[in-house]
Amino acid sequence: MDGGAESYDAAYAAWRRDPEAYWAAAARGIDWEREPARILAPELGAYGRWFPDGRLSLCHNALDRHVAAGRGGQAAIIHDSPMTGTCTTLTYAALLARVERVAGALAALGVGAGDRVVVYMPMVPEAAVAMLACARLGAVHSVVFGGFAAPELAARIADAKPRVVVAASCGLEPGRVVAYKPMLDAAIELSPHKPDACLILQRPQAVAELVPGRDHDFLAAEAAAAPHPCVTVAATDPLYILYTSGTTGKPKGIVRDTGGHAVALHHSMSMVYGLSPGEVMFTASDVGWVVGHSYIVYAPLLAGCTSVLFEGKPVGTPDAGTFWRVCADHRARVLFTAPTAMRAIKKEDPRGELPARYDLSNLAALFLAGERCDPDTAVWAERLLGKPVIDHWWQTETGWTITGNFRGLGLFPSRPGSGGKPAPGYHVAALDEAGQPVAPGQIGTLAIRLPLPPSCLPTLWQADDRFRAAYLEAFPGWYNTSDAGMVDAEGYVWVMSRTDDIINVAGHRLSTGAMEEVLASHPDVAECAVVGVKDMLKGQAPLGLVVLKSGVARPESEIVRELVALVRERIGPVAAFREARVVERLPKTRSGKILRATIRAIADGDRYNVPPTIDDPAILTELGETLGPAGR
């Protein structure tokens, strides 16, 4: 596209000149019951609130208005499931009809505006139906990823205090059926808060037993319910809570407000992804993650596009050509996935022969996010497809991209390894420890100037103090992303690593602190550390180091097996915790702080400086012998 640089520069400059005018214009893409007279109220909330006097229904904007405008016959969601060998299309009219009734069913169970509903479902259309039904009622959903185990689900139920849980009887993983219902029952048992009712979608692969009086069959309840109209809410009312890993075992409840989210996501569809109403977006993620919330469910529907909801894996269902088959079958214009999926495809199809079997002429670009994309993978994917590959940097907290390249503004040249330039709405800088921007090309903590743009979290669920402490206190006037990186002289942002104890495993964000809590609970463990080490496929993988209590004489291999099983049972298979080592001692500072970054460098075989505060440097040599790449 010609003139891309000017277009991006012009759009970014327009936002910098008058942010409120920029977002007021974007807000015109949304139907409001009461149009916001104010765009930003800087005096409200922790850093300001967007569209404070606006009222709207997100569900109306995602469904009803499109049907009213004649889009009822267009596909809204295509559920393509190699796991079940089925492909089902829901038109806008059909999706609306289902959402109206499921909203009616939830209302009949007592759900009203502001009530929470936990959704624990795999990649089935009913997950999107349940989310939209909550939005229709002004209720607040909290979707929990299916790869989490019962205690993680329990923690979310305990914090969100849902009136109702909507779940499926099972999820389908290659080679195994994951029974959700026993995990849900265990989670409800564990949680001090109990939901009044559960709506269970029975899947034929594992029909669940329903608890009389509490559990209801999803489809039967839907069929029996009266259609429910849209309930409007304040723009600042929460649409959903999505829990994400923090540095401790207690997940953070990211709050998404309704109005800002609608405006930013609708705007992003044309600006970031260059998509017009009627075009098809295939986001290969999961509804349990933020990318799934935003680009499988809300944004494509807000924009009148078609969304492909894919139940399968990039490889093995049945092969590494499955994404290309889906793109061709449904004429996807944009594919959005995680770099790890591309690495998995590259491993199976190293010569890149599979795309040629499919007609990819309609595919305009591949977008990647969720973890740092190594330049090799970006370059490989671009050669493979002969289409632009766009890495863009995101967080659950923001709900849409912080940096990227913008199809709607004309693409500027990409730089593999960089996440692109800031989206209009974000002023990004790399800061030093004193909160001062560092020179271009120097590494610092990446921070976003306040106020954050629409759709970014206004706070954490019922935890304003934790929100301030976690994000706003380190650098007054800035939001701390906890990512380290740099901004180069031309304004490209390079995201290199986290500054906290979060690791990124196959695009999944996980807390090493949470894993350490699990390891520490084992009766034979005196102390432990978990670090993320390099993994060719998944980017990072967790590695546990444990020091055993004195006198423990059991075989180490047995203890390690138990530790691996314990993490799977308490956090879930998604943690992919498969490796633990028993060591004599852990490297620490003189004040007793475990030197995790040094452990990671040793395990990765990277060069490292001996920290000046280390208690006993000899331990690093010992660790190198057990952990160095040769040792692993």
List binders of ligand COA among 344-373 (CB under 6 A): 344, 369-370
Q: Which is nearer to ligand AMP, 32 or 394 (CB)?
A: 394
Q: How far is the CB of 290 from ligand AMP (least distance, A)?
A: 5
List binders of ligand COA among 440-479 (CB under 6 A): none
Q: Which is nearer to ligand AMP, 80 or 286 (CB)?
A: 286
The residues, ordered by sequence, that sit 6+ positions from 555 with a Cβ below 8 Å of its Cβ are none
Q: Which is nearer to ligand AMP, 82 or 399 (CB)?
A: 399
Q: Which is nearer to ligand COA, 66 or 538 (CB)?
A: 538
Pick one of ligand AMP, ligand COA, none as the site partner of residue 173 (Cβ within 5 to 8 A by kind).
ligand COA
The residues, ordered by sequence, that sit 6+ positions from 400 with a Cβ below 8 Å of its Cβ are 264, 265, 268, 272, 294, 299, 394, 423, 455
Buried b (16+ CB within 10 A) or exposed e, 73-84: ebbbbbbbbbbe
- Helices 556-570 + 512-520 axis angle, to 10: 120
Question: What is the total residue count of the chain?
Answer: 632
Q: 239, 269, 15: which is closest to 133 by C-alpha?
A: 239
Q: How far is the CB of 274 from ligand COA (least distance, A)?
A: 19
Q: Alpha carbon of 408 to those of 9, 10, 268, 270, 387: distances in Å?
A: 13, 13, 9, 5, 16
Q: How far is the CB of 179 from ligand COA (least distance, A)?
A: 10
What DSSP state is assigned to residue 74?
S
Q: How far is the CB of 171 from ligand COA (least distance, A)?
A: 5
Q: 155, 157, 188, 183: which is closest to 169 by C-alpha?
A: 183
What DSSP state is assigned to residue 500?
S
Pick one of ligand COA, ligand AMP, none as the site partner of residue 9 (Cβ within 5 to 8 A by kind).
none
Counting contacts by CB under 6 A, is residue 576 touching ligand COA?
Answer: yes
Q: Which is nearer to ligand COA, 284 or 389 (CB)?
A: 284
Q: How far is the CB of 245 from ligand AMP (least distance, A)?
A: 8
Are 440 and 226 spatial neighbours (Cβ–Cβ below 8 Å)?
no
Pick one of ligand AMP, ligand COA, none as the site partner of residue 327 (Cβ within 5 to 8 A by kind).
none
Pick one of ligand AMP, ligand COA, none as the site partner of residue 511 (Cβ within 5 to 8 A by kind).
none
Q: How far is the CB of 26 from ligand AMP (least distance, A)?
A: 22
Encoded tokens for 459: 């706070």
**CA-CA-CA-CA torsion for 43, 46, 48, 51, nearest 10 degrees?**
-110
Q: How far is residue 535's CA from residue 371's CA, in Å, rounded to a whole number?
A: 13
Q: How far is residue 577's CA from residue 254's CA, in Å, rounded to a whole number?
A: 25
What is the SS3 string spanning 410-467? Answer: CCCCCCCCCCCEECCCCCEEEECCCCCECCCCCCEEEEEECCCCCCCCCCECCCHHHH
> Which of 313, 333, 346, 596 lies at the binding interface for ligand COA (CB under 6 A)?
313
Q: How far is residue 256's CA from residue 35's CA, in Å, rounded to a whole number?
A: 19
Counting contacts by CB under 6 A, is residue 574 touching ligand COA?
Answer: yes
The residues, ordered by sequence, that sit 6+ positions from 141 with a Cβ below 8 Å of its Cβ are 116, 117, 118, 119, 130, 131, 134, 135, 239, 240, 241
Q: How far is residue 58's CA from residue 232's CA, in Å, rounded to a whole number?
A: 8
Q: How far is the CB of 457 from ligand COA (least distance, A)?
A: 18
Pick one of ligand COA, ligand AMP, none as the site partner of residue 147 (Cβ within 5 to 8 A by kind).
ligand COA
Counting contacts by CB under 6 A, is residue 396 touching ligand COA?
Answer: no
Q: Which is nearer to ligand COA, 367 or 479 (CB)?
A: 367
Pick one of ligand AMP, ligand COA, none as the site partner of residue 290 (Cβ within 5 to 8 A by kind).
ligand AMP
Q: 67, 217, 210: which is closest to 132 by C-alpha?
A: 67
Q: Which is nearer to ligand COA, 120 or 471 (CB)?
A: 120
Pick one of ligand AMP, ligand COA, none as the site partner of residue 125 (Cβ within 5 to 8 A by kind).
none
**Residues near ligand AMP, by CB under 6 A:** 244, 290, 369-373, 391-396, 419, 481, 483, 495, 498, 504, 509
Q: Which is nearer to ligand AMP, 195 or 507 (CB)?
A: 507
Q: How far is residue 163's CA from residue 244's CA, in Å, rounded to a whole number?
A: 21
Pick one of ligand AMP, ligand COA, none as the site partner of residue 419 (Cβ within 5 to 8 A by kind).
ligand AMP
Pick one of ligand COA, ligand AMP, none as the site partner of residue 392 (Cβ within 5 to 8 A by kind).
ligand AMP
Options 311-319, 357-365, 373-381, 539-547: segment touching ligand COA (CB under 6 A): 311-319
DSSP 575-624: G---EEEE-S---BBTTS-B-HHHHHHHHHT---PPPTTBS-THHHHHHH
Pick one of ligand AMP, ligand COA, none as the site partner of residue 344 (Cβ within 5 to 8 A by kind).
ligand COA
The residues, ordered by sequence, that sit 6+ positions from 58 with a Cβ below 8 Å of its Cβ are 135, 239, 258, 261, 262, 298, 302
Encoded tokens for 236: 């600042």
Pick one of ligand COA, ligand AMP, none as the site partner of residue 83 (Cβ within 5 to 8 A by kind).
none
Pick one of ligand AMP, ligand COA, none as the site partner of residue 165 (Cβ within 5 to 8 A by kind).
none
Q: What is the pattern of x (binds ligand COA, CB under 6 A) and - over residues 506-545?
A: xxx----------------------------x--------
Element (H, E) at 530: strand 525-535
Q: Which is nearer to ligand COA, 289 or 426 (CB)?
A: 289
Q: Which is nearer to ligand AMP, 394 or 461 (CB)?
A: 394
Encoded tokens for 308: 């492909």
Q: What is the pattern of x (binds ligand COA, CB under 6 A) and - over residues 157-186?
A: --------------x-x----x--------
Residue 283 dihedral angles phi and psi, to the nearest 5°: -105, 110
Counting contacts by CB under 6 A, is residue 147 touching ligand COA?
Answer: yes
List binders of ligand COA among 324-343 (CB under 6 A): 337-338, 340-341
Q: Which is nearer to ligand COA, 372 or 508 (CB)?
A: 508
Counting contacts by CB under 6 A, is residue 146 touching ligand COA?
Answer: yes
Options 227-235, 346-354, 425-433, 568-576: segment touching ligand COA (CB under 6 A): 568-576
DSSP 347-374: HHSTT--GGGGS--TT--EEEE-SSPPP
Q: How far is the CB of 484 from ligand AMP (least distance, A)?
A: 9
Which residues are at the interface with ligand COA (CB under 6 A)? 122, 146-147, 171, 173, 178, 284-286, 289, 291, 313-315, 337-338, 340-341, 344, 369-370, 506-508, 537, 573-574, 576
